[in-house]
């Protein structure tokens, strides 16, 4: 509660003063230019000597603001590291809105330090190196470039961000792609502003929470506010590098997140934000106008009559409507949670995924299909918080509807090669239904609480059929037919369209499969649709050793690359989608030959996550091999990494197995 009382008059400089953490830093000295010990790692381009930040609340005549002060000192190690002298800061600025709602950056001060003849030479940055540009309707970018930066230079900069956007109390990231010797952050928050506070990561950190007071000017009088000060401090934080099979590295870096829950100021200025997913839904209903936008009129009502939807299953109706809408509207390459104006997108012929999705839901409604947004956090931005509901962490939505059997199905109109349950991998993310009553069994299929993991959508398959003949001179000749469904079809189409022409694609296939193609045909590689087919006729050399011929019973291995060679790993492993690969190969053995030793049937498992099953048998003079690989769970925690390595090595061994065909 705020306590107004008489105080000595506080000057603005005192009110806005900042106190750093316990560790103090002196001016740059000659000793600071010694080659950093961290440079022994050739991947290090720069070293953070320190990164210090502090956020505190203050008042202005227009009300409360947040002040965030940042100060950084770095040493440049390589030519590439010189890029750290070019700083870019994105902040909210709506020229057409209320200026009191805009953020501002001030107090910019930067310099480079170089050691010249044993003396430290400082070059301060002048204002001519500072630039601003409006990047969108509501955001400005400030850039500055520190002069006289060389390999070995030390750079230092500081600035202050003033913000009235209390929901955007900054996330502080302690780990970066370069080593950090010292990182400190504190946030002093009045008790009238309540936040979820979540410290994430596994680095060794010191943290503290203490009661304190803030001295401010409130309604013309000096006042003391009860507050809480959060302090976080870390030292010798190693470089946080990216690894394969991860969508958002920064989501796992050491960091602290704040999400506004409640503002409770005097004079009954009380507002709840997001304590629960129900609160999130209320916010979207009001602030993003979801309630009214879910009632917009279908602009294609007349044209939909030609789609022959009467009596068709919900999934068929939804698929035809999806294809029709994609033929009418283009995606403008943006993703939104709160669209500007879906009907305006119809007039302009293009819009964000949210614009198109609201039109799609209006069309589904006219077809008798109930639908609702599935609110998601794009996988490229990380996973949803574990301990609390969040509006800040959501950044878009896909469409959810129920089929005739009661199962949830999904679509997103940004997907150029999409369809029902065919989403780009980055949108197969964690999400929450806007209308939880869409299904008769709420949360059925949810992975935790109300959260669904769309990467576990089923129906992503690749079915391969191979028929070939081994000739006595050691050559395999035959045909392979691949049928890709769901996400597998979308991925194939994207790869197909990315190639310059069919000749380039053919050459790529020949190199990958180590064979020669005589024919190459595809079906359904253009536009939307769940399935795509590829047919090839090939010739492939086996290994001839006297009267023995060796070949892979699969003909073409499913897996050939060992992705997990590092002895340990910092980050979890994220596969794109739950999927199933099935291969059936039929290899005809010529007269006078026999398989010397049949390959053994094997089952390889990473329990709870994935499995491979393979078996072979002779049917007449045909060697029939059946192989199936199943990915059930796409997220594998780092604690399972050693088991994943063991599993993958076994899978590679199975895929490289050779059989011997001997002349009798």
Strand intervals (E) in 238-316? 255-265, 269-272
If you compute the radius of gyration of the chain from its CA atoms, what whole number of angstroms results? 30
* Residue 17: per-residue pLDDT: 40
* DSSP-derived pairing of the beta strands 172-173 and 119-124: unpaired
Q: Which residue has the higher pLDDT, 269 or 648?
A: 648
pLDDT value of residue 208? 95
- Where does residue 372 rank: exposed (0-12), middle (13-18), buried (19+ CB within 10 A)? buried
Q: What 3 state SS string does 158-170 have?
A: EEEEEECCHHHCC
Mean pLDDT of 322-347: 94
* Alpha-carbon gap, residue 317 to 411, rounded angstroms: 13
Q: What is the pLDDT of residue 528?
A: 85
Task: Tell me what pLDDT residue 225 has.
Answer: 86
pLDDT mean across residues, the chain:
91
- Residue 286 φ then ψ, to 5°: -90, -60
Residue 401 near residue 314 (C-beta atoms within 8 A):
yes
What integer is the mean pLDDT of 206-231?
88
CA separation for the pair 145, 104 (Å, rounded): 19
pLDDT category, 119, cuts 50, 70, 90? very high
- How many helices (H) and strands (E) are present in the chain, helices listed first? 9, 37
**pLDDT number for residue 529:** 82
pLDDT in tens, 462-486: 999 999 999 999 999 999 999 999 9
What percentage of the chain carries pLDDT values higher than 70?
A: 95
Q: What is the pLDDT of residue 48?
A: 98
Residue 19 has a CB neighbour count (10 Å cut-off) of: 8
- pLDDT (0 to 100) of residue 445: 67
Rounded to an integer, the average pLDDT of 637-643 is 96
Q: How far is CA 285 from CA 315, 436, 608, in A?
A: 27, 14, 38
Q: Looking at residues 343-351, what average pLDDT do you find?
A: 94
Pairwise CA distance, residues 429 & 397, whole Å: 10
In the three-class reduction of DSSP (H, G, I as helix; E, B as strand; rest coil), residue 273 is classed as coil
Residue 151 DSSP one-character state: T
Confidence of residue 643 (pLDDT cuts 50, 70, 90): very high
Q: Above 80 in pLDDT, residue 238?
A: yes
For residue 449, name the pLDDT band (cuts at 50, 70, 90).
confident
Output phi, psi for 58, to 5 deg: -145, 175
pLDDT average, residue stretch 111-140: 93
Q: What pLDDT band is residue 8 in, cutting at 50, 70 and 90?
A: very low
Does 14 score more than 70 pLDDT? no
Give me the pLDDT at residue 266, please: 67
Per-residue confidence at 270, pLDDT binned at 50, 70, 90? Answer: low
Distance CA 71, CA 50 (A): 8
For position 206, what pLDDT does the model report?
93
**What local confidence, expressed as pLDDT, does residue 19 receive?**
46
Which of 94-98, 371-375, 382-386 reaches the highest mean pLDDT? 371-375
- 593-596 long-range contacts, Cβ below 8 Å, gap at least 24? 593/470, 593/472, 593/549, 593/661, 593/662, 593/663, 593/664, 594/661, 594/662, 594/664, 595/623, 595/659, 595/660, 595/661, 595/662, 596/548, 596/659, 596/660, 596/661, 596/662
With a cut of 50, say whether residue 20 has pLDDT above it.
no
Helix 314-328 crosses helix 353-366 at what angle (to 10 degrees)?
130
pLDDT at residue 1 tops 60: no
| Separation CA 625–CA 468 (nearest Å) | 12
Three-state DSSP state, 487:
helix
Whether the pLDDT of residue 267 is over 60: the answer is no
- pLDDT band at 640; cut points 50, 70, 90: very high
Average pLDDT over residues 562-576: 94
Q: Are strands 46-60 and 180-190 parallel, antiparallel or unpaired?
A: parallel
Determine the pLDDT at residue 265: 77
Pairing of the two strands 255-265 and 193-200 = antiparallel
Q: What is the pLDDT of residue 224?
A: 87
Residue 229, beta-bridge partner list: 188, 210
pLDDT exceeds cutoff 60 at 437: yes
E strand or H helix at 593, and its extent? strand 593-595
Residue whose C-alpha is closest to residue 192's, from 266, 267, 257, 258: 266
pLDDT tens column, 48-82: 999 999 999 998 887 889 999 999 999 999 999 99
pLDDT tens figures, 86-96:
999 999 998 88
pLDDT exceeds cutoff 60 at 491: yes
Cα–Cα distance between 197 and 529 in angstroms, integer?
44
């Amino acid at each position: 509660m705020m306590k107004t009382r008489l105080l000595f008059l506080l000057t603005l400089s005192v009110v806005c003063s900042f106190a750093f953490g316990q560790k103090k830093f002196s001016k740059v000295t000659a000793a600071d230019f010694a080659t950093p010990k961290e440079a022994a790692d050739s991947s290090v381009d720069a070293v953070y000597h320190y990164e210090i930040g502090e956020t505190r609340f203050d008042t202005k005549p227009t009300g409360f603001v947040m002040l965030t002060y940042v100060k950084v000192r770095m040493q440049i190690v390589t030519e590439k590291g010189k890029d750290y002298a070019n700083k870019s800061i994105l902040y909210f600025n709506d020229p057409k809105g209320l200026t009191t709602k805009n953020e501002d950056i001030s107090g910019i001060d930067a310099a480079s330090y170089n050691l010249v003849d044993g003396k430290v030479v400082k070059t301060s940055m002048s204002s001519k190196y500072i630039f601003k540009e409006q990047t969108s309707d509501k955001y400005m970018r400030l850039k500055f470039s520190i002069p006289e930066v060389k390999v070995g230079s030390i750079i230092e900069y500081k600035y202050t961000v003033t913000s009235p956007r209390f929901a955007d109390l900054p996330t502080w990231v302690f780990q970066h792609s370069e080593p950090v010797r010292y990182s400190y952050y504190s946030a002093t928050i009045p008790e009238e502003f309540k936040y979820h506070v979540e410290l994430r990561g596994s680095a060794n950190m010191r943290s503290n929470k203490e009661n304190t007071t803030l001295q401010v000017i409130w309604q013309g009088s000096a006042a003391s506010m009860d507050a809480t000060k959060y302090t976080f401090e870390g030292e010798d934080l190693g470089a946080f590098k990216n690894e394969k099979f991860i969508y958002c590295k920064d989501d796992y870096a050491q960091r602290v997140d704040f999400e506004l829950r409640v503002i409770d100021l005097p004079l009954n200025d009380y507002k709840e934000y997001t304590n629960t997913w129900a609160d999130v839904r209320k916010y979207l209903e009001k602030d993003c106008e979801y309630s009214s936008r879910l009632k917009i009129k279908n602009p294609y009502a007349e044209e939909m009559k030609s789609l022959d939807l009467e009596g068709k299953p919900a999934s068929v109706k939804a698929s035809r409507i999806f294809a029709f809408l994609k033929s009418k509207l283009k995606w403008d390459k943006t993703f939104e949670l709160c669209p500007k104006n879906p009907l305006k997108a119809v007039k302009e012929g293009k819009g964000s995924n949210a614009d198109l999705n609201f039109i799609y839901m209006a069309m589904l409604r006219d077809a008798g299909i109930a639908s609702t947004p599935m609110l998601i956090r794009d996988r490229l931005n990380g996973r949803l918080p574990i301990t609390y509901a969040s509006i800040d962490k959501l950044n878009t939505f896909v469409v959810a509807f129920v089929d005739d059997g009661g199962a949830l199905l999904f679509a997103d109109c940004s997907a150029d090669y999409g369809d029902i349950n065919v989403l780009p991998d980055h949108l197969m993310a964690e999400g929450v239904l806007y209308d939880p009553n869409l299904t008769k069994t709420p949360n059925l299929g949810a992975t935790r609480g109300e959260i669904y993991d769309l990467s576990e959508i089923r129906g992503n398959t690749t079915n391969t059929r191979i028929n070939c003949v081994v000739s006595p001179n050691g050559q395999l000749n035959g045909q392979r037919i691949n049928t890709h469904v769901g996400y597998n079809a979308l991925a194939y189409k994207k790869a197909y369209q990315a190639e310059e022409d069919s000749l380039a694609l053919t050459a790529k296939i020949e190199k990958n499969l180590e064979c020669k193609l005589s024919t190459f045909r595809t079906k359904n590689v253009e536009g939307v649709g769940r399935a795509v087919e590829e047919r090839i006729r090939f010739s492939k050399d086996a290994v001839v050793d006297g009267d023995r011929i060796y070949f892979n019973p699969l003909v073409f291995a499913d897996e050939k690359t060992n992705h997990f060679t590092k002895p340990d790993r910092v980050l979890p492993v994220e596969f794109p989608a739950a999927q199933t690969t099935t291969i059936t190969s039929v290899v005809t053995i010529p007269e006078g030959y026999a398989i010397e030793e049949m390959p053994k049937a094997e089952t390889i498992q990473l329990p709870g996550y994935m499995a491979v099953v393979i078996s072979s048998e002779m049917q007449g003079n045909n060697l029939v091999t059946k192989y199936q690989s199943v990915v059930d769970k796409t997220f594998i925690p780092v604690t399972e990494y050693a088991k994943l390595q063991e599993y993958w090595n076994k899978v590679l061994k199975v895929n490289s197995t050779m059989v011997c065909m001997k002349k009798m």
